[in-house]
Chains A and B, each alone.
Chain A
């Protein structure tokens, strides 16, 4: 009874406070709206779209791009960019793959094989860590503009992968490697669970630690951060190391799903797609939310699978998807502009 008698204004603001507490705002609502609209649209236009089978296949596909987008997002948040995410992910997969194909003795105890696979994954993470250190030192300590530094390391990492593999795809891993990429737990694909775990981890790091706060401070104003006793160099190093590790996790997912490692996997599109997702999620230096990245990845996957099914038999349907992505981005920008404008007028 008392709740009903409270004035409407207060009730409204209570809702706003509650939403704010959950870090939900206009951008998140807009993205959720777009996601639901698209899902409904494809559910009604494509018969096979909203079936367990297609949903599972989507859940297998999107984690790679999702974790790579997180790797991209945190660097944008601190005012930079990491063009080497995909190169890092490929290098990590290639090194781990070479370890698995060349270092395991031929007469190995089958029980030990699992440890070799785990060792390979640790090596992949270590490679991601080292790639991140190189980026972080160049950007944080030497002061190379992030776009230039990571373009150079993109070429450098791809160069190492190309050289090590002589341009040939690495295959022939032990069967157990594929567990991560192809099995499910309680009906949920393992890659998707890993994606959710890393989304939560990134959320905790960015929103619950001093490091995350400093990252956003540097993004908003590096000079002000420096004068507020933030050690910019160390934080930037940390951000790029984290980005490298997330990229390496993507590499593990890719090698586990495709059972191969190649220097050229996804080179032409993945980097730009991760930037596109960050932009769709409204991430700008200093501001941006992990949950928005998550929804943006879902939107892209729905759009991709949806158009693929809708245009079955039409030549080049993936090209139409690219076209639609561009249009959708522009529409979201414009809607955002009007939403922003209205709240500013209030």
Chain B
């Protein structure tokens, strides 16, 4: 009995629907072009997902707490680019770790600034993040530099080419899974643990569910906001540095068009835009769906100028499907079962 109940719950969960969508997409694309089912495509898709996963993991707690933030991309760009320009000036030629340390520290500070403004002046998270988005990109471009920089320190040159393991692909020759996949995995696990097993993490859900109730139940809302914004800043900085070393150049306006894509991936993965729900697995699947749509479309032979159109159609369909399910459930009168997920 218990087992059957669990299976039913699993099938009803949003994560499962997203998983089916991902499966359906992959099979369709694979049917059109079997080249999709190769290890190199898998590794490529994963590689392009890494930074978006890190960004999404950093943003997830804030979304669960009921906030929408778009400044994380600006923080990623400013911290990574400014760190690079600073170290370049110092003549640094060591490894990549120092990049993560400096950028990470700056990222945390930038995140805490958001948290301070939000809690001290009782401002909406989105409004603050919008101001910070404009401010940080403006700051980066005006005060730090406005051109992409390609000169990497000696100690970091081989980094883009370090693989967890490599495989022999029949078409592409040797291909590898990049080491930063482990980084994304580790960061995902940390957030998973934080959200599920710490009091602060449970408080994040409580705030998203009902902030007033969370305050009355004794959650330290101020502290929780500082922690989740700190996480956001840190993860953004890590994502910015990682992206720079994967693509082998530092870009001052990196991710500028993508904050809403990351947010959409999280919402697609089952987090409610109003807060209170959302999961690491859902977010991961959401990011993968969007990456598969974007990357694998090239393999289907659709003319380049119509690809975006196809992405749009797919997005419209796949955002409507979960909503239609909810609509039907509402008519049948058990909406509460579907909106809950953890």
Contacts and interface: CB of A to CB of B under 8 A. Distances in A.
A148 B320 CA distance: 9
Nearest to A158: B308
Contacts of A115: none
Given A163-B305, A315-B146, A319-B146, A276 B134 contact: yes
A155 B142 contact: no
A156 B319 CA distance: 13
A153 B264 contact: no
B123 A321 contact: no
Given A147-B267, A276-B134, A325-B134, A330 B315 contact: no
Interface string A93-127: 00000000000000000000000000000000000
B136 to A, nearest CB: 7
Interface in A288-346: 315-316, 319-327, 329-330, 333-334, 337
Contacts of B308: 155, 158-159, 162-163
B325 to A, nearest CB: 10
Given A138-B316, A145-B273, A151 B135 contact: no
A137 B309 CA distance: 19
Interface in B136-168: 136-139, 141-143, 146
Interface size class of B (residues with CB under 8 A): 35 or more
Contacts of A167: 305
Contacts of A162: 305-306, 308-309
A144 interface: yes
Given A316-B146, A319-B141, A325-B138, A330 B117 contact: yes
A83 B123 CA distance: 22
A83 B124 CA distance: 19
Contacts of B136: 326
Contacts, number: 155
Contacts of A323: 134-135, 138-139, 142-143
B102 interface: no
A14 B219 CA distance: 45
A293 to B, nearest CB: 15
A243 to B, nearest CB: 17
19 contacts: A145-B267, A147-B273, A148-B268, A152-B315, A153-B312, A156-B316, A158-B308, A159-B307, A160-B312, A162-B308, A163-B305, A279-B126, A320-B138, A323-B138, A325-B138, A326-B131, A326-B133, A330-B117, A337-B122
Interface of A: 83, 134, 138, 142-145, 147-149, 151-160, 162-163, 165-167, 267-268, 272, 275-276, 279, 284, 315-316, 319-327, 329-330, 333-334, 337
Given A159-B308, A326-B131, A329-B135, 14 more contacts: A138-B319, A143-B323, A147-B264, A147-B267, A156-B309, A156-B315, A162-B305, A165-B305, A316-B142, A319-B142, A325-B138, A326-B132, A327-B135, A329-B130
Interface of B: 68, 70, 117, 121-124, 126-128, 130-139, 141-143, 146, 256-257, 260-261, 263-264, 267-268, 272-273, 303, 305-313, 315-316, 319-320, 323-324, 326-327
